Amino acid sequence: MGIEIDIFKSEPDAICQSAYWYDDKIKIVLNKADKVKRVYLGSFWNGSGLQNPDTEKLLHAEMVDLIKELLMLPKNAAIRKVNDLVKRARTTKVHALIVSHLCNEMPPDEQDLQ
């Protein structure tokens, strides 16, 4: 007995149900994805070729795009980390300015006056 997770709604669910009989040919990978920005088509066949040669240019272009995107992952991860660091530094600076302002606005303690 397998565990089913209902992540699909309406149309995508119908697509997945219709693709059920081809599950040995279709693989879907969603890794930490809330939304899918791009779906790549591909034929990972080591045989004699495609059954429909009209789609060969499309599948080749999709494969090239996918490989380019996969090669860009490390660079994009580094850029994302730098952007996150800059965002945290800005937040820290704003927090420090607010705390400094609040400290200056507070009345002095009696112990500080002695």
Tell me how far apart the terminal alpha carbons of the chain are, to the nearest angstrom. 76
Residue 97, in any domain of the structure: yes
Residue 2, in any domain of the structure: no
Provide the domain limits for residue 21.
10-107
Residue 1, in any domain of the structure: no
Instruction: Decide: pTM greater than 0.75.
Output: no
Tell me the two tokens of residue 36: 């899918």
Output the tens digit of pLDDT for each of the chain's 114 residues. 444 445 545 566 676 777 777 666 666 666 665 666 777 777 666 666 677 777 888 888 888 888 898 888 888 888 889 999 999 999 999 999 999 999 998 887 766 655
Residue 67, in any domain of the structure: yes
Angle at 32 between CA 26 and CA 36, to 5 degrees: 60
The answer to whether residues 58 and 41 touch, using CB atoms and an 8 Å cutoff, is yes
For residue 97, the Cα-to-chain-centroid distance in whole angstroms is 33
Residue 113, in any domain of the structure: no
CA dihedral 58, 20, 1, 31 (to 10 degrees): 20
Residue 114, in any domain of the structure: no
Number of domains making up the chain: 1
- Separation of alpha carbons 1 and 16, rounded Å: 19
- Rg value, the chain, Cα: 27
Residue 66, in any domain of the structure: yes
Residue 41, in any domain of the structure: yes
